[in-house]
Amino acid sequence: MISLGNAVVSEDVAEKFFVCDLIKCKGACCVEGDMGAPLDVEEARILEEIYPAVKKYLSKDGIRVIEEHGKFIEMEDGDLVTPTIGNNRECAYAIYDKGILKCGIEKAYNEGQVTFQKPISCHLYPIRITKYDEFEAVNYERWNICNPACSNGRDLGVPLYKFLKGPLTRKYGEQWYTDLCHEIESKKK
């Protein structure tokens, strides 16, 4: 484990290889699972605020679900998640682009319509963060839908922490990411 600030990072984040291969997985992480994308309270507030600008990028089914159930859902345990279409199908914010699921929020962001890229849980995937009283655990979540990304990462020689430089920097800051790289490189020596 690597301890940086209030985060404890699993060795897998440093050692495993990973580069998304959307041609093979088709954006399966936007549809697989038993709930929508995890959100924090601030992200739920942001979704309420940006929905009018994001709406034009979403599917008819996504819009219907969001307008029927809300911009986010509160689970029985109090966790907040994005709504899903139908019986836990794709995220209501997901859109198909040539047969590949992508994020409608991110499309609005890329086109300069909003300043919020997408939920950090999506941006960091396959890293999952578990919050505890004293620290956050930063772990690699292994899932068979990402096998093509693991193979692709190995072929390209890109470790998970380097593939997720942008999201990790967004979450923890540039200095934290620089320190993470330093810690990983010093352990290799």
Specify whether 35 is located in the same domain as 113.
Answer: yes
Q: pTM for the whole thing?
A: 0.86
Give buried/exposed letters for 135-157 (b at 16+ CB in 10 A, else e): ebebbbeeeebbebbbebbeeee
Tokens 């620089």, residue?
178
Domains of the chain: total:
2
The residues facing 137 across adjacent strands are: 8, 130
Tokens 């009018």, residue?
52
d(CA 67, CA 103): 18
Residue 132 lies in domain: 1-18+126-189
Specify whether 46 is located in the same domain as 99.
Answer: yes
| Per-residue pLDDT reduced to its tens digit, 62-106 | 999 999 999 999 988 888 999 999 776 888 999 998 988 899 999
